[in-house]
Amino acid sequence: MKHLAAVLAAAAAVALAPSAHAQTSGSLGLGVGVVKPKDIDSTVWFTGTLRLPLSANLALEPEIGYWKKTAEEGAAKASLEDLHFGGSALLVFPSERVEIFVGGGAGAHRLKGKLGVFGVGIDRTETKLGLHILGGIDIRASDSLTVFGAARWERIRLGDEDDGDDDLDTTKFYGGLRFRL
């Protein structure tokens, strides 16, 4: 057991150790893509991130994201919007011009729902916890500019039951630019 603990400690030290290829400064990412919430038509998703490298292979990435979907049927109108503040821990696999990343994280989702019929409606706003996994690729265009693409799956906890039936699952595909700070 002591041997396993020593191996794990050594692996963590290597992963966290700075290297010659490690980006010493962070980057600001701006992206846009499509989000497909469960049982709702897809819509546009906007995101902003701040990537903070801890080592050559590990980064933290605080983020903000937003999407809104509105639907109308006759005199009825419904909308749902999600303003998300969260973060991810990323494993980064760098090379000369390309970086592949995978990770996961959590965030707070400010969900605002509206339902109206003939101009009379109800609004409800709640903040819920969401968990996500993601992966993507960064392609360096210059020393200060990177183009990225990513895919993400997210589960937002809506109900109190543990069966997950009331949760909101979303799938996101997006891309954008990352500017070195």
Q: Write the CB contacts of 140 (distance below 8 Å, at least 6 apart in sequence).
A: 97, 98, 99, 146
Look at residue 17 and tell me whether its pLDDT is greater than 50.
Answer: no
Look at residue 124 and tell me whether its pLDDT is greater than 90.
Answer: yes
Look at residue 161 and tell me whether its pLDDT is greater than 80.
Answer: no
Given the DSSP bridges, would you call strands 58-73 and 76-94 parallel, antiparallel or unpaired?
A: antiparallel
Average pLDDT over the chain reads: 87
The pTM for the full model equals 0.81
Q: Give the mean pLDDT of 40-61.
A: 96
**Whole-number pLDDT of residue 19:** 42
Q: How far apart are CA 83 and CA 103, in angstroms?
A: 21
**Whole-number pLDDT of residue 122:** 93
Look at residue 8 and tell me whether its pLDDT is greater than 80.
Answer: no
For 2-180, CATH number out of 1.20.120.1200, 3.40.50.1820, 3.90.190.20, 2.40.160.20 equals 2.40.160.20
**Whole-number pLDDT of residue 106:** 98
- Regarding predicted confidence, which is higher, 158 or 128? 128
**Whole-number pLDDT of residue 10:** 44
Q: How far apart are CA 66 and CA 81, in angstroms?
A: 7
Q: How far apart are CA 154 and CA 104, in angstroms?
A: 9
Every domain of the chain and the residues it spans: 2-180
Instruction: Please answer whether residues 128 and 159 qualify as being in contact, where contact means their C-beta atoms are separated by less than 8 angstroms.
Output: no
- Regarding predicted confidence, which is higher, 84 or 21? 84
Q: Tokens 């011009």 belong to which residue?
A: 97
**Whole-number pLDDT of residue 24:** 61
